[in-house]
Amino acid sequence: MAQVLDSSSVNFKLDPVVLDLGQRFVDAGFELSLVGGPVRDLFLGRTSPDLDFTTDATPEQTLSVIKKWADNFWDIGRAFGTIGMKKAGFQIEITTYRAEAYDPDSRKPMVAFGSSLEDDLLRRDFTINAMALRLPSLELVDPFGGVRDLHGGELATPGAPEASFSDDPLRMMRAARFASQLGVSVHDDVRVAMSDMADRIKIISAERVREELVKLINGAHPRTGIDLLVDTGLAEYVLPEVSALRLESDEHHRHKDVYQHSLQVLEQAAALETGPDGPVPGPDFVLRFAALMHDVGKPATRRFEPGGAVSFRHHDVVGAKLTAKRMKALRFDNDSIKAVARLVELHMRFYGYGEAGWTDSAVRRYVADAGPLLERLHRLTRSDVTTRNQRKADRLSFAYDDLEQRIAALAEQESLNAIRPDLDGGQIMELLGLKPGPVVGRAYKFLLDQRMEYGPLDHDDAVGKLKAWWAEQPESAVEQAGEEDLSNHTPAEESK
């Protein structure tokens, strides 16, 4: 299917850079087409600073066309037929037509260059990405119905999905990612192939899986993407802890559907993200992933209680450990792992406040334990309320409103975001005559506890509390005993 587009037919604008590049290739005797995601996004009214092109020119011929035109360029992908460059703020990749094949047991593609645009489009992942715009003529090439599927909100493959997923199993993750980003459903044939071939994802590197998962979680419809992973069995290999949340029902015991609850919490957390100038600009992966994973400790801690109740004691602590383990397996960076696991660990802390009023000390500890994650913890805790009992929901909301007001009031008085003991390490060592070591750390922790319990102390009170604490420490007794021995040690005894 081919048609010439104009600005009125799809309401898109092409930057002059695109048309200029197309004309340069045509003048040099080659074909050039805008392809894949950028073409799809034109129909969605979106633009991107990243532009993908395909051509019949070899990488060497491409370099000869763009060397003097590009702001800068690189050929790190030359072996795969790709030349990269920057021009006028755009990041551009131009790839030679390919007829690509994969070793079934390898993560790396075997590349063979092709000579046909249509053959190149056939090897792409989904029909909505298998469209091209010939340049500079603006002829749309859509041999597999990408426009139709985009308008119909359905994800299909140009050829047999089994062949596509065998070539690159990561495409199964991409299907879930596009379901999240675009809100599309997947064709029945695609869903069946994903289910049948889910174990093929094991040959894909953890880093590539992680990148697709992040894009999925940060999409506009993350619940749809996660549901697809779980329903097709892909989650058994990528996020088995989430699949395990589908706890079997027991007719004699009562507990909410943990899996559906977690998806709802994910949606509600995403809805509480702020704009770019707010405290939690969306999409925020740390908040969203913590929301998804916050209850993953429940399957391991489920206990049936007398009377039909079900308990999940310490699921927050267990869940934090499981979350950290999974994120390490997916090669996340340490900061992200610590942040998400900490939120999972803290997500139940508030419920003690709802049951009984907290002292100022408890409020300070809540803030200190959350640290820079406090705004995310606020949103995670509020999102964790999915009860249909409106009175209960209102009570919890009122309680958290009250907690946030108290945090704000104390913060105004005491600078809660930077709580420190009233004496620093240097002062502690000077007052107690100590050298750096574990004892100084214990003294510092004691003063921090006092700061949490009583709020800011003046200097004299802090010194008094420190000296009283020191008098009770075994090291102080040893030091005093040593001083007594020296005072009883006479010169006559030294001469013996």
Amino acid at 118: E
Per-residue tokens: 283? 């999409």
Per DSSP, 69 falls in state T
Asked which of 126, 152, 178 is the last residue of a domain, the reply is: 152
173 and 135 in one domain? Answer: no
Does a structural domain hold residue 251? Answer: no
Q: What are phi and psi of 356, to 5 degrees?
A: -155, 140
438 and 350 in one domain? Answer: no
> Tokens 């049936």 label which residue?
304
Average pLDDT over residues 330-338: 98
Asked which of 152, 177, 202 is the last residue of a domain, the reply is: 152
Does a structural domain hold residue 92? Answer: yes
226 and 286 in one domain? Answer: no
SS3 295: coil
Q: Cis omega (within 30 of 0) on the bond before 306?
A: no
Does a structural domain hold residue 261? Answer: no
Measured distance CA(377)–CA(373) in Å, rounded: 6
Does a structural domain hold residue 341? Answer: yes
Q: Which of 21-24's residues contact partners 24+ apart within 8 Å by CB, and which partners?
A: 21/53, 21/66, 21/69, 21/87, 21/92, 21/135, 22/134, 22/135, 22/136, 23/135, 23/136, 24/65, 24/66, 24/69
| Residue 251's pLDDT band (cuts 50, 70, 90) | very low
Q: Which comes out higher in pLDDT, residue 250 or 153?
A: 153
Per-residue pLDDT at 107: 53
173 and 314 in one domain? Answer: no
Query: Residues 122-150: pLDDT tens digits?
Result: 989 999 999 999 999 999 999 999 999 99
Partners of 95 in the beta sheet? Answer: 54, 82
- Structural domain of 429: 425-487
| Residue 399's pLDDT band (cuts 50, 70, 90) | confident
Measured distance CA(343)–CA(17) in Å, rounded: 45
Rounded to two decimals, the pTM is 0.79
What CATH number does residue 160 fall under? 1.10.110.30
Does a structural domain hold residue 351? Answer: yes
Per-residue pLDDT at 108: 59
SS (H, E, C) 390-428: HHHHHHHHHHHHHHHHHHHHHHHHHCHHHCCCCCCHHHH
166 and 32 in one domain? Answer: no
97 and 28 in one domain? Answer: yes
Does a structural domain hold residue 248? Answer: no
User: What is the share, in percent, of the chain residues with pLDDT greater than 70?
Assistant: 87
Does a structural domain hold residue 492? Answer: no
CA 180-317-325 angle, to 5 degrees, is 55
Does a structural domain hold residue 459? Answer: yes
pLDDT at 16 over 60: yes
Chain-centroid distance, C-alpha 21: 36
Per-residue pLDDT at 493: 47
The terminus-to-terminus CA distance of the chain in angstroms comes to 110
- Cβ burial, residue 84 (10 Å; 0-12/13-18/19+): middle
What CATH number does residue 133 fall under? 3.30.460.10
Per-residue tokens: 364? 């300070």
87 and 1 in one domain? Answer: yes
3 and 143 in one domain? Answer: yes
158 and 148 in one domain? Answer: no
| Structural domain count of the chain | 4
User: Do residues 187 and 155 touch, judged by C-beta distance below 8 A?
Assistant: yes
310 and 366 in one domain? Answer: yes
131 and 39 in one domain? Answer: yes
Asked which of 399, 418, 437 is the last residue of a domain, the reply is: 418
The CB density around residue 340, as the number of other CB atoms within 10 Å, is 28
Average pLDDT over residues 206-210: 97
User: Do residues 160 and 166 touch, judged by C-beta distance below 8 A?
Assistant: no
Q: Which comes out higher in pLDDT, residue 356 or 30?
A: 30
354 and 389 in one domain? Answer: yes
